[in-house]
Chains A and B, each alone.
Chain A
Amino acid sequence: MDNFSIKFEKFWQAFYTHNGYARVVVGLKNTMLIAIFGLIIGIVIGTAIAGTLVHPAKSRLSRFLKAFCNFYVGLFRGSPIVVQLLVTYYVVLPILQINMSSLKVCILVFGLNSGAYVSEIMRGGILSVDPGQMEAGRALGLGYGVSMGKIVVPQAVKNILPTIGNEFISLIKETSVVSFVGAIDLYVAFNYIGTNNYEYMVPYLFMALIYIVLVLIISSLVKAMERSLGKSDRSHQA
């Protein structure tokens, strides 16, 4: 145990006295930025794709759009996110001669990637809603968009909220690869602290703890949200 307290001593020195915590804060901030903005972009893209895919129209335009959506989803689900990051950062952007900070590239790639996954979740959610709901809306003379937006999607979102929460959690976990394109995240920060005196045990233990606490906090937030949404269904007032 003595050994451990020496290790902890060294870690604390690097963390606190030598300002390692500043990097941890930056890393944590980047992790959250990438996950949050990635999810927001993902929800926008995913809802658009799902809306396109479930639309009953069979026109040439709609068939083309559907094929494109399927291609997009296949592309981003079919390769590891590290590869997508590397290809975007070292291949696509240089060819297009676009300069972008590595943090922005990460947000972009995580957003595009998450869009593919959210579209599947959203589509499942929409299909899980009884088709009778859409039919009743249309039979009353409401349009497709109104029936979708006011009746079907609200019920779908309630069904998929836990899954969206899981998507957010997996985004947070996946951010641990962003150092491949030079972005600073928790791994980079703690790795820096460890390298300070070649003592990695405690820094990585702390890193693990931070990830676990983050995930626990988010899961309980999602549960709380589910509960408050579930209430509207069961409230008895009569």
Chain B
Amino acid sequence: MIEVIKLNKNYGDLKVLQDISFTVEKGEKIAIIGPSGSGKSTLLRCLNFMEEASSGSIIFEGINLTEQKAKLDLHRQKMGMVFQQFNLFNNKTVLENIMMAPLHIRLSKLRKTRWQNFFIKTGNFFRKNKKSLIELDTDAASIKEEVRGQALKLLQKIGLEDKKDVYPSTLSGGQKQRIAIIRSLAMNPKVILFDEPTSSLDPEMVGEVLDLIRSLADEGMTMLIVTHEMGFAKEVASRVLFMDEGRIAEDSSPEQIFSNPQNPRTREFLSKVKAM
């Protein structure tokens, strides 16, 4: 589904990513671990073009994204991202947060079709062979109803439907992150990128967020998770990437990495994490 080929990223002289190559198959759950500053966040951010890679290619569903920059927004709609700091929209209610992107995108599609029809109609005025209009199977009100229904269903799934009309500032960290996760689910993405989704949570809220991610994994969602929760990585991941100084130092199954790491750097890192 995703193929990363020789990806490099520099900030000035600093080489943050060096010759990163790997593939992601549909349904894989990949945990990315490694010391601070090893480039894990940068890798995720390059995948959805929040950062522009210095060289290399990213192929997503057969399309080379490094060539087709114009359609980045379309690509991002299919690739969800969940941030360490949640980043819920502060000026929108919970329900508005979830509805915003799907609603905006579907409404602008509708508007675009209406304009196209308008031009066809204007053209037909002069044409002998009338062109037929693009069929509209829906209108703005029913799109809104549908998106709202889907958003409410997602909220029910995480048991927070009673929070639909509150603003994010009134929620706990765990609630915010769970809402951020279903906000990206509302776009029906093909893959979700998680960047340390539990790192800024109080310990008692880590569980509820991990439970939600686990249930998505069980439903077959493809995901890449940068995490420091080794237990979680071991349990949920189908594959683990260990990153060190901008390179993928080890790429194998969780059993292999956690019980029998091949790379000395991996061993060193894991023993430090265990000691904590």
Q: Give A contacts to B, CB under 8 Å.
A: 130, 132-133, 135-143, 146, 150-151, 154-155, 158, 232-238
Contacts and interface: CB of A to CB of B under 8 A. Distances in A.
Nearest to B105: A141
A139 B48 contact: yes
A234 B85 CA distance: 20
B90 A141 contact: no
Interface residues of B, number: 33
Interface stretch (B158-166, B223-231, B238-246): B158-166
Interface stretch (B32-40, B58-66, B76-84, B111-119): B76-84
Given A136-B83, A238-B165, A141 B77 contact: yes
Nearest to B92: A151
Contacts of A140: 76-77, 80, 100-101, 183-184, 187
Contacts of B83: 132, 135-136, 139
B145 interface: no
A138 to B, nearest CB: 7
A237 B235 CA distance: 38
Contact of B50 (A139, A150, A238): A139
B87 A234 contact: no
5 contacts: A132-B83, A132-B85, A139-B76, A140-B100, A140-B187
B135 to A, nearest CB: 25
A136 B76 contact: no
A158 to B, nearest CB: 8
A133 B184 CA distance: 14
Given A140-B187, A142-B101, A132 B87 contact: yes
A135 B74 contact: no
Contacts of B100: 140, 142, 150
A160 to B, nearest CB: 14
A130 B85 CA distance: 10
B170 interface: yes
B250 to A, nearest CB: 28
Given A135-B50, A140-B77, A143-B73, A234 B167 contact: yes
Contacts of B78: 141
Contact of B73 (A135, A142, A151, A233): A142
A237 B164 CA distance: 9
A146 B100 CA distance: 11
A141 B76 contact: yes
Given A136-B88, A232-B91, A233-B90, A141 B167 contact: no
Nearest to B169: A233
Contacts of A234: 167, 169-170
B89 interface: yes
A136 B87 CA distance: 6
A48 to B, nearest CB: 22
Contact of B89 (A137, A138, A158, A236): A137
Given A133-B89, A138-B76, A154-B91, A233 B184 contact: no
Contact of B87 (A133, A150, A237, A238): A133
A141 B50 contact: no
B104 interface: yes
Given A132-B83, A142-B100, A233-B90, 14 more contacts: A132-B87, A133-B89, A136-B87, A139-B50, A139-B83, A140-B101, A140-B184, A140-B187, A141-B75, A141-B77, A141-B187, A143-B73, A232-B167, A234-B169
Contacts of B76: 138-141
Contacts of B92: 151
A134 B199 CA distance: 21
B89 A136 contact: yes
Contacts of A139: 48, 50, 76, 80-81, 83, 184
Contact of B104 (A146, A233, A236, A237): A146
Given A132-B85, A150-B100, A138 B50 contact: yes
Interface string B126-151: 00000000000000000000000000
Residue among B90, B105, B165 having the largest count of chain A Cβ atoms under 10 Å:
B90
Contacts of B77: 140-141
Given A132-B83, A139-B76, A235 B166 contact: yes
A133 B180 CA distance: 12
The 4 closest A-B pairs by CB, nearest first: A141-B77, A136-B87, A140-B101, A132-B87
Contact of A238 (B48, B81, B105, B166): B166
A237 B165 contact: yes
